[in-house]
Structure 1
Amino acid sequence: MEGHLHSTVATSISIIYGCLLFVGCCIAFPKPPVDIPPVNPSDAPKLPAGVSRTVLIAGGGLASLSAALELSERGFNVTICEKDLVLGGRLHTKNIERLNQTWPVEHAFHAWFYNYHQFKDIRKRLGIDGNFREWKAVDYVFRNYLPEEIYSEGPFPLNLLGIIFRSPNLKMTNAIESSLSLPDLLYYNYDTIFEKYANISLDDWAKEKHVDEAFYSIIMRPALSVTLNERHTISAAEMLTYMQMYFLSEPQADGREVTTKNYQDAVIGPWKKVLQENGVRIETNSTVKSLYFNSSNGKVISTETKEMFDHVILATNLVGLQRIINTTQKNYSPDSKIGVSLQCLQSKVGKLPLAPRYKIFRAWFDKQPHNRPDILETPDYTPVNLIAQYHLLEEHFAMWANKTNGSVLEFHLYTWKEKDTPDDKVWEIIQPTVKMIYPEIFSENFTMLAYHVNSFEDNFPSFKINTEQFRPNVTFPNRCGIPNLSFAGDWLHTSYPSSLMERSVSTGRQAANHILLMEHVRQVPLLVTNSHGPGLL
């Protein structure tokens, strides 16, 4: 009885507190993005005439291309070494043969968000804004709730309240009963969030804050699946940062776009063209295996090509970087100066884990689903996390569908449990789940004409609990005693809120800025998401 009374009083206080917070929201304002200016504004905008500086960039993804663009525009001689046959990293596009024709097939579907400030700047410079279109609403299906169409519209906080008012599942009481979570959202502080919540999962954070189950399942939990991490172990600090970036920082923060062409034609090809016009040497099918640091002249030597460089940026994925450092260590005794520096790097990089394996299954069918959204997120239907209709997204597939009345569907299969699954068994495994989401594929006897499977392992960084302490920043090698080495990639820690593709692009620019500062060339400004939530006035 006493416990019940205590619970009732606590609930009443929570509801009153929640009401006050929601009223307070109405006089709160999201804070604008922050400009990080050059620390050396009086330095020259480019290398002086007659001065040559060489930079090796390992990796050919967004971080690499970002760094290469800034450095090449400022007079540096840049070489990119990419182990794959094509550039792009997780934006790569490869041609495959199916149904007697060639198809450009990407790594997987991606979306570009409003707060991708660095990438939007690069888009304008490359002249490719016309290759994107708005993706206004996100459609979800759940096992235990009605389908949702979630989008932000109007000024803060009406944009967020509108999500609740439009929902067929949620009521204001669901949000009010979750009021204990609001301080961490409204008073989000990037400078302290990892200290507070890097070592607990978002699930545990939600339990600690008594977040309403429906509110959590519909508003918060769906974001977990797109990180490719295990949903029960991902860091609450990382996910709260996602919420700041994609929901709270600005009314239009959840605004997103998709490309109207494959990523090679829409993004990577134009980017590569500009880099080559700037004199960047691009070596595909070329792996940087290890480095040698010449103490006599301060140069860095690629042990494969024997070329010497003034600076090196390691912009590979995490496993690629770990391999380079491991192999480089074999060139030095542990007690040598460089050996000690490499051990310093390993003290962090070597302890960072990888996310689980995942697969992307793209299928060509003889019929089209009707009244289905372009992109459907399915957070409760593991292993299927997302379904994209490519005949509604990209020109190449739309032309084929218009002629044949067929469809091209892509199924995202994250945290794939089955190891070494043959490609011809993937559809068999996911069929029962797909039947629950898209029953018409089976009831209307769709015929699968062709399929393609992308399988990835050791490809995506983990952001699970207890790992943030090992996440270095761009210039960590300098702290370890190697000033002409820097990192870039989505697995790094930044001093401002960032994530996914924007973190790759931003850290690429930061790596370039580290080199520009060393060479007395003016740095490139960054525009980043505000480190603080809207608060209350």
Structure 2
Amino acid sequence: MKQPFDFFLERQISRRALLKLAGVSTFGGMIGYSRFAKPEPTVFQKDSLSLPTRLSHTRSVVVIGGGLAGLASAYELCRRGFQVTLLERSPQLGGKIAGWPIQVNGETLMMEHGFHGFFPQYYNLWSVVRELEIQANFKSLNFYSVVYKGDRYNPEIFRPSHSAFPWNIVDLAVSSSNRLRWGLNLTSYGHWQVFREITGFNPQSSYQRLDDLSVADWVKQDFPRGLYDLYFLPFAKSSLNAPDVLSAGELMQFFHFYFFGNPEGLAFNGTCQDMNRSLVQPIAQFILQNGGRIVTEAAVTNLDWQQGKITSLTYQKGRVENTSPFWVTANPVLDATVQSPLKFYGAGDRVYAVNSNKSEALSMTCTHQGCTVYPNEKGEFHCPCHGAVYDREGRVLQGPAKRNLDRFKVVSRQDEQVQLVASNPNPTTSSGAETLQADYYVIATDVPGVQHLFSQMTGEVNSQVRQQVEKLALADPFAVCRFWFDRDFEWQQSWFTSLSGYRLTDSITLYHRIQDDYIAWAEKTGGSVVELHAYCYKEKEFPTQEALLKTFEQELYEIVPELQQATLLHRELVNQKNFSGYPPGSYRDRPETQTPVPNLLFAGDWVKMPFPCGLMERAVSSGLLASNTILHQEGLQRRALLTVKPKGMLSILT
């Protein structure tokens, strides 16, 4: 009778794989090295040191988008002597890590788009932090917990590490009280396939095998249940893409970058203040001090193409809606849920209501702090966040909002889309158009931003690049809700904890234990500040912000029962649909940083990267890669970019 391991060898390891494994001494040496000496990061694109580092002639660059990608690109180009103009659509810089002031019981505090962890393998982001000498703006959170609802699993704890694969797996298995619940059996052919994929990432072959498969479909096969509940589900959702619409190949890249390909572990840092003060403003100050120009509330209205490249850019400073027509897509979920004769378009924090009997539309964005309002049975619009009320024409009936809802004209209708333009642009909120001509243009917006820019372009637009941009996908919307209470509570897990098994909530953050302003607020009031995240919820299940708020509050009391006896002092909701999607089959058509157009570069977490990276590190690395392309074209030394090991150690088996 065959033993299980014999069966495993017969079915899984081919003759070619056995020949590969014949280099056992080399393999053993690698394993020993990964245990006793911390592996160094991999250097990507290292240039000759004999090349000049600064520009000796005049060159200009326009960077569109003031998120991390755009800031990183502008930062590096300013360091090298380029004339840089950075344009940002919003009033504040930072994109998904922007911060803005709010009022909490008469006190000014800073709100953000949610907590972000700064992992040690964010090598390129940390290199910028060191160059700016702002390391003191960050603090270690010491360890990181993943907590599954109920008593099926114990909390999983991740701590700093200094060993790479396979020893990080060994250490985790030794320390994990759930190791017998992982359900992993390497004598099972299906389980061995899973283990091989997560430990043997190879950019070419992994995407070739798995990119056309969603994570949800992949795990329907013979898959270890414990691994899915404790690791795959929470980590897939922390990519801000739901398992049913996330490429399994993309998740393997994500796993490799965050765990299997680096020796850093999963403990991370947070910021001592909001990310605007801790990171965004120091980068912006450097840009300004080195001759750069930053323009916020800058709506780009046209990019003109001639002879295969961009020749000029036109922008207008003021509210984005006051500039030019734009398209929005129908939202049938809201149509079916909200009892109203109106038809809804858009999602997240950009929803528009169109009366089918009129050629007008109304923005559902509350003019107080950007929440989405919805009609009641009287036809009035109510804000679920702070109580503002508008009449059926969008006029303010009750504060705290002071300005009426924005109105639009329906310019055109096409299938399930409408094209809108502001009805009565207020000349006091926008200035005249300005046209810029530059040697290079870096588009570093989010996905809706770059697609909107391409819809505004004139001239001989490159068809290949346009098609790539049109195919970019958006992830499901994400939501963040921050609560202020009049009392503190006991908490045994990490100050940022991933949660699994809840209907909506994916994580909890204790701001009064992390950021200095909130620590001071808690010491003064005896209260607490708690934030819940929903990384990629389904609009059909939570169609309105009222439904989000209600569910967040219910689940918070499940997670922290002591808060049921506390008084809720204030709450803030951030709800958007602008994060990059990585659906099955999207890898092959994803645009890269360098485009076929000689003076057009892309940057953002939506570009195809030549090395493993994720989230904030993906944004920063793409911005630096875009600047490297420009430096290379000008004969300058490129910045040495760092990454984790490009391939998994067991990629020899794939």
Shorter-chain TM range is 0.7 to 0.9
Aligned partner of residue 606 in structure 2, secondary structure? coil
Q: How big is each residue's C-alpha offset from its partner over 1:205-255, in whole Å with a ceiling of 9 and x where there is no partner?
A: 3444x3321122213322011122122231111111111111112222424
Cα displacement (A) at 1:87: 0.6
Q: Determine the structure 1 residue equivalent to 2:137.
A: 131
Q: Determine the structure 1 residue equivalent to 2:486.
A: 366
Q: Which amino acid aligns with 1:195?
A: Q
Determine if the alignment matches structure 1 residue 145 to structure 2 residue 153.
yes
Selected match of 1:310 from 433, 439, 446: 439
Q: How big is each residue's C-alpha offset from its partner over 1:114-140, in whole Å with a ceiling of 9 and x where there is no partner?
A: 211110110001111111122232212
Aligned partner of residue 481 in structure 2, secondary structure? strand
Range with bigger deviation, 267-276 or 185-194: 185-194
Q: Determine the structure 2 residue equivalent to 1:228.
A: 240
Q: Determine the structure 2 residue equivalent to 1:288.
A: 300
How far apart are the structure 2 equivalents of 1:191 and 1:168? Answer: 36
Cα displacement (A) at 1:315: 0.3
Cα displacement (A) at 1:290: 2.0
Aligned partner of residue 109 in structure 2, secondary structure? strand
Q: How big is each residue's C-alpha offset from its partner over 1:126-159, in whole Å with a ceiling of 9 and x where there is no partner?
A: 1111111222322122133232223354534333
Aligned pairs (5 A) from 1:432-443: 432-442=554-564
CA distance 1:32–1:238, change in 2 (3 Å): farther
With normalisation by structure 2, the TM-score equals 0.73
Range with bigger deviation, 218-227 or 307-316: 218-227
Selected match of 1:490 from 592, 605, 610: 605
Cα displacement (A) at 1:36: 2.2
Q: Which amino acid aligns with 2:192?
A: S
Range with bigger deviation, 63-72 or 253-262: 253-262
Selected match of 1:405 from 507, 526, 542: 526
Say whether the 8 Å CA contact 1:383–1:416 is kept in structure 2. Answer: yes
Q: Which amino acid aligns with 1:273?
A: Q
CA RMSD of superposed structures (Å):
2.8
Higher strand share: 2
Aligned pairs (5 A) from 1:80-479: 80-143=86-149, 144-151=152-159, 153=161, 155-156=163-164, 157-171=166-180, 174-177=183-186, 178-208=191-221, 210-295=222-307, 299-302=311-314, 304-328=433-457, 331-332=458-459, 338-339=460-461, 341=462, 343-373=463-493, 374-418=495-539, 426-442=548-564, 445-457=565-577, 459-476=578-595, 479=596
CA distance 1:298–1:194, change in 2 (3 Å): closer
How far apart are the structure 1 equivalents of 2:599 and 2:135? Answer: 34
Aligned pairs (5 A) from 1:23-42: 28=31, 32-39=40-47, 42=50
Say whether the 8 Å CA contact 1:59–1:314 is kept in structure 2. Answer: yes
With normalisation by structure 1, the TM-score equals 0.88
Aligned partner of residue 176 in structure 1, secondary structure? coil
Q: Determine the structure 1 residue equivalent to 2:627.
A: 512
CA distance 1:173–1:105, change in 2 (3 Å): closer
Aligned partner of residue 209 in structure 2, secondary structure? helix
Aligned partner of residue 261 in structure 1, secondary structure? coil
Structure of higher CA gyration radius: 2
Runs of 4+ residues deviating >6 angstroms: 8-12, 15-18, 24-27, 419-422
Cα displacement (A) at 1:40: 6.4
Aligned partner of residue 269 in structure 1, secondary structure? helix
How far apart are the structure 1 equivalents of 2:3 and 2:560? Answer: 45
Q: Determine the structure 2 residue equivalent to 1:335.
A: none
Query: Which blocks of at least 5 consecutive residues in structure 2 are unaligned?
Result: 13-17, 22-26, 316-432
Cα displacement (A) at 1:12: 8.1
Q: How big is each residue's C-alpha offset from its partner over 1:450-485, in whole Å with a ceiling of 9 and x where there is no partner?
A: 11111212x101112121122110012xx2xx2101
CA distance 1:512–1:323, change in 2 (3 Å): same
Q: Determine the structure 2 residue equivalent to 1:73.
A: 79
Aligned partner of residue 174 in structure 1, secondary structure? coil
How far apart are the structure 1 equivalents of 2:178 and 2:477? Answer: 33
Q: Which amino acid aligns with 1:470?
A: D
Say whether the 8 Å CA contact 2:477–2:539 is kept in structure 1. Answer: no
How far apart are the structure 2 equivalents of 1:168 and 1:384? Answer: 24
How far apart are the structure 1 equivalents of 2:307 and 2:141? Answer: 52
CA distance 1:536–1:356, change in 2 (3 Å): closer
Aligned partner of residue 258 in structure 2, secondary structure? helix
Say whether the 8 Å CA contact 2:162–2:265 is kept in structure 1. Answer: no
Cα displacement (A) at 1:11: 8.6
CA distance 1:448–1:173, change in 2 (3 Å): closer
Q: How big is each residue's C-alpha offset from its partner over 1:491-522, in whole Å with a ceiling of 9 and x where there is no partner?
A: 11111111111111111011111111222222
Cα displacement (A) at 1:424: 5.6
Q: Determine the structure 2 residue equivalent to 1:502.
A: 617
Identity among equivalent positions (%) equals: 26
- Number of equivalenced pairs: 509
Cα displacement (A) at 1:386: 0.8
Cα displacement (A) at 1:71: 0.7
Cα displacement (A) at 1:376: 1.9
CA distance 1:485–1:204, change in 2 (3 Å): same
Q: How big is each residue's C-alpha offset from its partner over 1:26-62, in whole Å with a ceiling of 9 and x where there is no partner?
A: 96355642212345654422111xx211110000011
Q: How big is each residue's C-alpha offset from its partner over 1:48-95, in whole Å with a ceiling of 9 and x where there is no partner?
A: 1xx211110000011111111111111110000001111111110000
Cα displacement (A) at 1:173: 7.5
Say whether the 8 Å CA contact 1:294–1:301 is kept in structure 2. Answer: no
Say whether the 8 Å CA contact 2:99–2:112 is kept in structure 1. Answer: yes
Range with bigger deviation, 115-124 or 172-181: 172-181
Q: Which amino acid aligns with 1:410?
A: E
Aligned partner of residue 97 in structure 1, secondary structure? strand
Say whether the 8 Å CA contact 2:247–2:583 is kept in structure 1. Answer: yes
CA distance 1:100–1:11, change in 2 (3 Å): farther
Q: Which amino acid aligns with 1:311?
A: Y
Q: How big is each residue's C-alpha offset from its partner over 1:352-396, in whole Å with a ceiling of 9 and x where there is no partner?
A: 110111211111001112124311211211311111010001000
Determine if the alignment matches structure 1 residue 526 to structure 2 residue 641.
yes
Cα displacement (A) at 1:448: 0.5
How far apart are the structure 2 equivalents of 1:321 and 1:314? Answer: 7
Say whether the 8 Å CA contact 2:508–2:530 is kept in structure 1. Answer: yes
Q: Which amino acid aligns with 1:47?
A: L
Cα displacement (A) at 1:261: 1.3
Range with bigger deviation, 91-100 or 144-153: 144-153
Q: How big is each residue's C-alpha offset from its partner over 1:313-333, in whole Å with a ceiling of 9 and x where there is no partner?
A: 0000011001101110xx23x
Q: Which amino acid aligns with 2:438?
A: F
Aligned partner of residue 512 in structure 1, secondary structure? helix
How far apart are the structure 2 equivalents of 1:15 and 1:406? Answer: 59
Aligned partner of residue 527 in structure 1, secondary structure? strand
Q: Determine the structure 2 residue equivalent to 1:57.
A: 63
CA distance 1:402–1:182, change in 2 (3 Å): same
